[in-house]
Amino acid sequence: PPPPPPPPSAARAPRPQPPRRAGQFAPCETPDDAAIVQVARGVARDLGVGGEEVVGVPYGSDLRHLVNAGGTPGILFGPGDVSEAHRENESIGVDELVDGARAVALCVLRFLADDEDRLALSPGI
């Protein structure tokens, strides 16, 4: 017969949990001289948002698929503090949202414009 259940006052040992593993993502790299990097740098400078420094980051994103499998140079660029991303109460201020939207829109316009038009696109959007 099975053993009797423990008395209600007996403490039960916690059920073992499998170890949590951080995601493992393949790295990707876009050269500093890639057009998208240069455009984003110029936009950040012209709008006074972020910085012009290009840095590698130790977290994963789906960008690796575009860069590695798709052969498309890419960057992570936008508003917010990544240390607060994907957490309870994740948020950014309205001003930061507006600045980020302007920066991303101007990046797209400049990146898709030809060289002559790119020079004419001002940050006044």
Question: pTM for the whole thing?
Answer: 0.70
Distances (CA, A) of 40 to 31, 65, 69, 94, 115: 13, 20, 22, 21, 15
Are 95 and 24 within 8 A, CB to CB? no
pLDDT tens digits for range 83-123? 888 888 889 999 999 999 999 999 999 999 876 665 566 65
Q: Where are the alpha helices (DSSP H) in the chain?
A: 35-47, 63-64, 94-112, 115-120
Please tell me the distance from the alpha carbon of residue 103 to that of residue 19, in angstroms, as a whole number.
40
Statement: residue 81 has pLDDT above 90: no
Phi-psi region of 48 (alpha: psi -120 to 50; beta: other; left: phi over 0): left
